[in-house]
Amino acid sequence: LPNPLLRKLELFGPLNAGDKKFVDDALARARTVAAHTDLISEGQSPSDVHLVVEGLCCRYKILPSGQRQIFAYLVPGDFCDLNVFILRAMDHNIATLAVSRIVEIPRDTILAMVARPQLARALWWATLVDEATLREWLVNVGQRTAEIRIAHLFCEIHLRLSVVGQADDRSFFFPVTQVELADTVGLSPVHVNRSLQSLRARDLIDFKKGLVELHDLGKLRKLCSFNPNYLHLEGGKLDRGDFGEDRPRS
């Protein structure tokens, strides 16, 4: 079973043997966490950095009114709280959605990683992709209709899971409830249910019990005009791997 973090980071650029070993060692001891368990809560200031090795987690916030908004799904290879080095306190929560394997990487280990130039850039790249993903979610909730919102979300998750070898072209596991989907895309659970039925009726996707079956990925992507640029994936290899160099640009 390949290291999902390594797999992700190498999309950005090649790592040397030392870098790889470093990453591998860092993920050596993962612990298993039950589903629906908070890993970090708002106001806390964890000393270590959490990383998802297996399973599914999410960032979320609960409003005074009791409403919940999910900001991000964290799939294998994703960091939970790299910002720990700078910000005093978390401004949101992170929880598991399914049984997951989590590693807690000590601060010092992260610092040592950042001391390796290529790894440092790869980590930075990962956080920038997180931010770009967040922007796309804002587009999703701000501009798209219910059905297309959900279609777009599935397209994204599918691609991100593919990167870490957790999805093929026909299906993938995505263990969330319809209520959680609703809190993700800013819709009511009832409407999510109906939108899912509508997508099934169009013979695009079938989602039940945490399994997404893609009946026609191409049509699904067309429906929501899915443009994966913001994930900086395939293009990732072409992304700037250098720092100070001043080469000409188009």
Binding interface with DNA (CB under 7 A): 145-147, 177-179, 186-191, 193-197, 208-209
Q: Name the residue nearer to a copy of itself (CB basis): 139 or 211.
A: 139
Residue 125 binding: pick among a copy of itself, DNA, none (C-beta 5-8 Å cut-off by kind) = a copy of itself
d(CA 43, CA 201): 44
The residues near 140 (Cβ < 8 Å, ≥ 6 apart) are: 149, 152, 153, 185
d(CA 22, CA 190): 47
Residue 198 amino acid letter: S
The phi and psi torsions of 89 (rounded to 5 degrees) equal -135, 150
Q: Name the residue nearer to DNA (CB basis): 105 or 150.
A: 150
Q: Is 190 left (phi over 0), alpha (psi -120 to 50) or beta?
A: alpha
Identified binder of a copy of itself from the candidate list 1, 29, 34, 47, rule CB under 8 A: 47
Alpha-carbon distance values, 3 to 45, 163, 171, 200 (Å): 27, 12, 21, 34
Using CB under 8 A, which residues numbered 166 to 205 contact a copy of itself? 185-186
Identified binder of a copy of itself from the candidate list 22, 73, 79, 137, rule CB under 8 A: 137
Is residue 222 within the footprint of a copy of itself (CB under 8 A)? no
d(CA 93, CA 70): 9
Q: Name the residue nearer to a copy of itself (CB basis): 29 or 108.
A: 108
Using CB under 8 A, which residues numbered 3 to 42 contact a copy of itself? none
Residue 146 binding: pick among a copy of itself, DNA, none (C-beta 5-8 Å cut-off by kind) = DNA
Is residue 128 within the footprint of a copy of itself (CB under 8 A)? yes
Query: Is residue 95 a contact partner of residue 57, using CB atoms and an 8 Å limit?
Result: yes
d(CA 137, CA 131): 10
d(CA 155, CA 89): 33
Identified binder of a copy of itself from the candidate list 14, 36, 89, 165, rule CB under 8 A: 89
Binding site for a copy of itself (CB under 8 A): 45, 47, 59, 61, 63-65, 67, 69, 71, 83, 85-89, 91-92, 107-108, 111, 121, 124-125, 127-128, 130-132, 134-135, 137-139, 141-143, 185-186, 225, 229-230, 232, 235, 238-240, 243-244, 246, 249-250
